[in-house]
Copies of this chain bind each other. A is one copy, B any other.
């Protein structure tokens, strides 16, 4: 009854091209600091159970079959063919792909071909800055090249994304840093920087955010659960409130990614500020059988025109599948229950489902 016709995955990554064994596959199921504890496996998580539910049937197996059986079948088909079957079984019609990971993942074009779908690039600001630093000799050239690179990226990408929250925390000073401050920070960073050093300086992170805002392209900000190494409360999106206020009225949309366990806070900001949007997908892949509840929590405060689906998938096409299926099922269950209780009309529920699945993303990013 409530089944949106297409899905725009507003934030994901490519998939690994290599064959995966049980251990290398398992390691992609969660973001951890260290291997699983003795006597435990990452298959025994909501993500692991969701993969075992949704993916085996796409490869011709029973749901919930043992991981070893699933991986044997995956190897039998080959990584490419398994990936094609999985991605084409996800129901995703457009992928917005963050290409800024150091891992060797498929690029948007490959993802599009494998999944028979559209794909568009999201440019990760910190990665862009690091690449520019690698090829810039002086502070002046670094800053000029950076501005040019962001400008150039804006011409072909559909969005920028920032992991400032994971690198430094979201409690950043809200205003743009002054030119002298930026030059000083850039000089210190470039001088101290070894090959591969990541950008964590808060002045440069803010500078990046503001040149991205100036581009007018939607800016996605990672909040809540993210990379290991962060402290999760430092990624609470409420910490962005003053930055959000400072960027109001400039014509650039801000999209709060992930959010969980602070997704109610992200939804609140999406409700208060016209230019703020809330993601409702990446957390579902992590919370599996609880997806309907987590989605419903986002639907408390976020206006329905401000919610965007994503899978947040990375590395495994199984995660795109799980993201898409958990989302569709959660949406149907949550909105369906509200319809059957009389709280919502069916027509409204169907309209809102389509908005969240693809319509809002189409409007914000101009895709789909």
Contact = CB atoms under 8 A, between A and B. Distances in A.
Interface of A: 30-42, 44-46, 49-50, 52-53, 63-64, 225, 228, 231-233, 236, 238-239, 241-242, 245, 248-249, 253, 261, 264-265, 268, 271-275, 286-290, 293-294, 296-297, 299-301, 303-306, 338, 341-345, 347-348, 352, 355, 363
Nearest to A263: B261
A289 B49 contact: no
B45 A271 contact: yes
A343 B274 contact: no
A46 B245 CA distance: 24
5 contacts: A30-B271, A45-B271, A231-B241, A232-B238, A290-B297
B348 A49 contact: yes
A36 to B, nearest CB: 6
Contact of A343 (B53, B248, B293, B348): B53
A274 B347 CA distance: 47
Contact of A33 (B236, B253, B272, B293): B272
A41 B345 CA distance: 17
Contacts of A341: 289
B363 A34 contact: no
A319 to B, nearest CB: 16
A246 to B, nearest CB: 12
Contacts of A253: 37
Given A53-B342, A343-B49, A273 B33 contact: yes
A192 to B, nearest CB: 23
Contacts of A274: 32-37
Contacts of A249: 34
Contacts of A287: 300-301
A326 to B, nearest CB: 9
Nearest to A264: B261
Given A273-B33, A342-B53, A300 B46 contact: yes
A63 B228 contact: no
Contacts of A225: 268, 301
A42 B233 CA distance: 30
A344 B303 contact: no
Given A338-B289, A343-B289, A40 B264 contact: no
A64 B41 CA distance: 42
A66 to B, nearest CB: 10
B33 A245 contact: yes
A33 to B, nearest CB: 6
Given A272-B31, A306-B37, A348-B49, A290 B286 contact: no
B343 A288 contact: yes
